[in-house]
Chains A and B, each alone.
Chain A
Amino acid sequence: MELEERARDTADNCIACTSCIAACPVTKANPEYKGPKLVGPAHSRMHFSDPSDYEDTLMLCSNCKNCDITCPNGVSVSTLNMLERAKYLQEHPEAHRPEDEMLSHSFKMANMLNSIPFGKQIANLGMTIGEATGMMGVMGIAPERKTPRFAATYFRDMFKNIKQPASDKKVLFFPGCYIDTNDPEVGVAFVQVMNENGYEVLMDNRFVCCGSPLVVGGYIDEARQHADTNVAVIQEYASRNIPVIACCTSCSLMLKNEYTELFAQSEMKEAAQNVWDAFEFLAKLDAEGKLKKVAANSSHKFIYHAPCHLRAQGVGLPAFDLLKSAGLNIVNADAGCCGMSGSYGFHKDNYETSMKVGKDLFDAINSDNYHKVVCDCGTCRMQIEHGTDTKSVHPIQILAKCYKKS
């Protein structure tokens, strides 16, 4: 059912205070971009006068959500950008870049490869060859980047072989594409941590990609289908009092906030109540005195990068706080956006902007001899490893290791 309060109507809350322009990392890096205020709130009101009138620099928005975080008046700036972008691409299909289809639908490729014997290995080899021969650039992918390789075994398949103690306390894991098909060890660590705390982890293969890459690529109708599919599953588990937890902060933001902002359906708003970011959930257990005690005995020094999509959730920095209170020697980089913003930095045209945006973070990481960068977001971690020589890790992996040692 359509909600009365719709994010798209929040454009009228904009008083043009320019906070978002000041906070926007893309505006800072790229003088072509007209800035979030103009392409989002202002333009979403003006185009009603002429449906073909669009501001084409809205394609430069990375949907990092720093505009939303900085807005004092509750304008859903980035969502307005994304809705405008979708309309723009419907009016101007020629504005789609050749790589849009692939970068927005990587889940399709991942699923297909899993059904072919040695499919993933062959695809990985193909990427190596493609990178070596400059094919990536031809396809519109930034040739400087290493494209993420598919894991030999996806998390969905690994999960079947994980032996968990049965428990009445259950959570449903939303792995998200990157953890499922590229970085399954994060999922394994999540199961370990939940088991240590007396929870049994469930998986449901009806879940599909959260839809975040579809939204930024302008495939808004497909994103809506994904939202409806996922929301139905979340609601089913909500009726059994089983919370849904994601370790990827872009997925959790999508499920918690963006579905409702983009599509304004009451079901989405209700389902959001049953979705948690992993460390948001663990922090809640901690506050209730239910988190199993943990001590970090590492002699190494770590640096934490807060993903913008976590900051946008309004839950503080639960992973940083928890690891710090467990005794880990960790500092908060507090250096803004990494510049990757999901698939944004993979576009060849966005590469320069993406690296410029990330520079402050790279400098912070390079300023000291840190053992590892701790970060909840998979694509941030990719960017960090691309822009620095420091390895990165999801905080749940550190927590799992601490439990294992104790």
Chain B
Amino acid sequence: MSKSDVVVIGNGVAGLMAALVSADQGKKVTLLSYGAGTFPLNSGVIDVLGYDDAGKAVANPIEGIGRTADNHPYKKIGMPAVQDAVEYFKKTVADEGFPYVGSLKEQQWLITSVGTLKPTCLLPESLQASKCFDANEIVIVGVKGLKDFYVDMVAENLAKELGSDKKYTTVTVDTYITGRDLTTRDVARWVESDKGYGEFLAQIKNQAGSGKAIIVPQILGTKGNYVVYNKLVKDLGCAVVETTGMPPSVNGIRLRDVLLSALKKKGIRVIENVIAEKAVVKGDTVTAVEAGGEVRAQTYEADKFILATGGFYSGGITMRDFGEYKEMVFGLPVEGDCVEERWVNKQLFSDKKQAFAMAGVRVDSSLRAVDESGNVVLKNVYVVGRNLSGYDFCFEHSGNGVALTSAYKAAKA
């Protein structure tokens, strides 16, 4: 196979963004992918920094970033790259017809599928919770047969968040689809069809009106655009807000499709269903990675490699025995507490970070792996996203933010 300028390994938010930014530098890019990335589990919004180290909500992400610890990825990425990356992302999705709202200066909010509010930085307009903050009456729309969306629970929790001075009503619509239990994607497909939209509108129209806001699960179309959303807002004459949803996440897949569409336009070659197995190393330089399916590996040569294989969940970092974290492709140095008694905080929903979640590749400000003395290990390998050490994205709500900004910096390097 002909040599690429850049090989990106991994196809989550970090991998796709690294490939896009690299291609924008005029590079010939090959992306090695295995599985769907994290998108079906991903809300598809960009959390930059939701909570600080004390677990306190961050009102202004850019100030929050300034207060992170020195070993946090954001400190290595640096503020200019963070700001440029956010602008780059906003332009990319807008060019694809799916503009996101929000900025680094002010936290946004979205409504979860259980009716709580969650901070985020960039999100699709249809998920922007603030649209319902001024409404007098909140109408929560459920769907018959839809798994994991309970209108009464949403109403109860939303009343706690938005105040009980508002009126909360619920309505449940019927899709008339028979067969299995429905997922939000099934319902989204129904709503984006002409027939389904008509049936849906007829069942909620009399609930709408000025001063009201309509809350729906993530069902306003499967595609990364606002066609269904805009139409519904117009037809109902009031605010409409989508919640996040249970997997498979409609909006996560919308974002993936939008990014893949951008990738395709830039002529990026995507190799599916391959696991990067090992690197071909000459001195301190990687000349190729070997990646393949079950039977045999192929050699993918490049001048530069960007590692975006993820953490424990994605298999980018593993620990077979205590004391031995391992990065799977290049064998890069992983830092983090891996002592049996401390690597995991057994209280999953506590106010403490998880040691295993903080474990990752030790990098310098160029995002290249460094040994304990700070010397770069492999000079043309860059590390992005959850492969990085020093942050617990679940705790602080920074997953896609670190993915996006580190990918941007590495691709620009």
Contact = CB atoms under 8 A, between A and B. Distances in A.
Interface of A: 16-19, 21-23, 28, 30-35, 57, 68-73, 256-257, 260, 272-273, 275, 283, 286-287, 311-316, 321, 325, 332, 334
Task: Give the 4 A-B CB pairs with smallest separation, nearest first.
Answer: A314-B293, A72-B35, A31-B179, A22-B248
B412 to A, nearest CB: 27
B295 A70 contact: no
B253 A22 contact: yes
A33 B248 contact: no
B295 A19 contact: no
A32 B180 contact: yes
B2 A21 contact: no
Given A33-B179, A57-B180, 12 more contacts: A19-B40, A19-B41, A22-B185, A31-B178, A33-B180, A68-B273, A69-B273, A70-B36, A72-B36, A313-B295, A315-B298, A316-B298
B348 interface: no
Given A257-B295, A287-B299, A313-B293, A73 B35 contact: yes
Contacts of B185: 21-22
A257 B294 contact: yes
A314 B180 contact: no
A273 B295 contact: yes
A17 B272 contact: no
Interface of B: 1-2, 34-38, 40-41, 177-180, 182-183, 185-186, 189, 247-248, 253, 264, 269, 271-275, 291-296, 298-299, 314-315
A273 B297 CA distance: 11
A316 B248 contact: no
A379 to B, nearest CB: 20
Nearest to A21: B248
Nearest to A38: B180
A140 to B, nearest CB: 22
Contacts of B38: 72
Contacts of B264: 332, 334
A228 to B, nearest CB: 19
A70 B314 CA distance: 13
Contacts of B273: 68-69, 311-314
Given A17-B41, A17-B247, A311-B272, A256 B295 contact: yes
Contacts of B178: 31-32
Given A22-B253, A31-B179, A287-B1, A272 B295 contact: yes
B180 A34 contact: yes
Contacts of B34: 72
Contacts of A273: 295-296
Contact of A70 (B35, B296, B298): B35
A18 B295 contact: no
Nearest to B273: A314
A16 B271 CA distance: 24
Nearest to A33: B180
A31 B180 CA distance: 6
A183 B269 CA distance: 31
A166 to B, nearest CB: 29
Contact of A21 (B1, B183, B271): B183
22 contacts: A17-B40, A17-B247, A19-B40, A22-B253, A31-B179, A33-B179, A72-B34, A257-B294, A257-B295, A273-B295, A313-B293, A313-B295, A314-B271, A314-B272, A314-B292, A314-B293, A314-B294, A315-B271, A315-B292, A315-B298, A316-B269, A316-B272
Contacts of A71: 35-36
A19 B36 contact: yes
B294 A256 contact: yes
Given A32-B180, A72-B314, A260 B294 contact: yes
Nearest to B310: A72
Contacts of B272: 69, 311, 314, 316
B369 to A, nearest CB: 24
A257 B293 contact: yes
A131 B306 CA distance: 56
B2 A325 contact: yes
Nearest to B41: A17
